[in-house]
Chains A and B, each alone.
Chain A
Amino acid sequence: NAGVTQTPKFQVLKTGQSMTLQCAQDMNHNSMYWYRQDPGMGLRLIYYSASEGTTDKGEVPNGYNVSRLNKREFSLRLESAAPSQTSVYFCASSDRGLTGELFFGEGSRLTVL
């Protein structure tokens, strides 16, 4: 049972480069989320998708774009990476209706030089 799968697990970028973080879930969840985790700041929501075909900004969306490719997949793109985007990124999913329980991937550790 894979749950939420993120790729890549580690990435080093130079300032100005672009990249896409991929996320897929196999739990048939409607809602998917992208968070970043920074020391002393907890997890902060970047973007979320309440259902296939919809996306909305979270708390810290600047510098990011997302695509809800289908019900299973939700990708996060950094168009022009900045050192301030050095962080650990987590994808999560939840069942919108029943319990709202969040399930997380293992994280993607991104360093921007």
Chain B
Amino acid sequence: KQEVTQIPAALSVPEGENLVLNCSFTDSAIYNLQWFRQDPGKGLTSLLLIQSSQREQTSGRLNASLDKSSGRSTLYIAASQPGDSATYLCASRFGGYQKVTFGIGTKLQVIP
């Protein structure tokens, strides 16, 4: 059974700081890994999708990497802003393709 773990559960940083969110998974036979943002009371917004053949994806101030051999993905946020405050979730699609396992998320607070 695939397990996805996100550490830390919560993170508070001052504005302007660069930060890294971690996601680890137990089954390296993944199709892809996706990072989401969730604001309170809202749905999940897709940030970045990394296919199993890729090592990283970038969008603006966000960079996500994937290392299947170690079972890890990281989401790098450059020059953090208060508007980045949200919960960030990672999810891996694996096995029978339709199976997607989510982490519980990292709640990020960026302090002005």
Contact = CB atoms under 8 A, between A and B. Distances in A.
A48 B98 contact: yes
Nearest to A35: B102
A41 B98 CA distance: 20
Interface in B1-53: 4, 31-32, 34, 36, 41-46, 49, 51
Given A41-B104, A42-B103, A99-B32, A104 B43 contact: yes
Nearest to A44: B102
Contact of A42 (B32, B34, B45, B105): B105
Interface residues of A, number: 23
Closest A-B pairs by Cβ, 3 of them:
A104-B44, A43-B102, A106-B43
Interface of A: 4, 31, 33, 40-43, 45, 48, 50, 56, 90, 92, 96, 99-107
21 contacts: A33-B100, A40-B104, A41-B104, A42-B4, A42-B102, A43-B91, A45-B99, A45-B100, A90-B43, A96-B97, A99-B32, A99-B49, A100-B31, A100-B93, A101-B46, A101-B49, A102-B44, A102-B46, A102-B100, A104-B44, A107-B41
Interface of B: 4, 31-32, 34, 36, 41-46, 49, 51, 89, 91, 93, 97-100, 102-105
